[in-house]
Amino acid sequence: MKKIMFVCHGNICRSPMAEFIFKDMIKRRGLAGEFAVDSCATSTEEIWGGIGNPVYPPAKAELAKHKISCEGKRAVQLQKSDYDKYDLFVGMDSANIRNMHRILGGDPQNKIRKLMEYTERGGDVADP
């Protein structure tokens, strides 16, 4: 099973959208059992008293337009221990990549990527 973590700054817009769109893509391809997909934040700005905010309403509405649910998703922060739990970390921008390296203590196994790496080459996150 491939374990993929999508990462952005607050985990209420971009990374949850990537998480749920990717889950929908693999479900439609009959591959849901081959992946574990999550998302998280590099900051704690959307986490209060240990409880993360839900997905930003406009992001949730955009997903809903495509019949994709993100119900129950709340922001969580990336932890150093996540490095051993996931095969791939996909950051949304350069600042995310920099912060992922800081939080995870580097990237000795070359697991950190930027989402645009997959769009530029026309590839698929399901085939890193």
**Which positions are annotated as active-site residues?**
8, 14, 127
What CA–CA distance (Å, rounded) separates 20 from 3?
14
Q: What is the DSSP letter of 53?
A: P
What CA–CA distance (Å, rounded) separates 76 from 108?
24
What CA–CA distance (Å, rounded) separates 94 from 92?
7
Instruction: Give residue for tokens 């390296």.
Output: 101
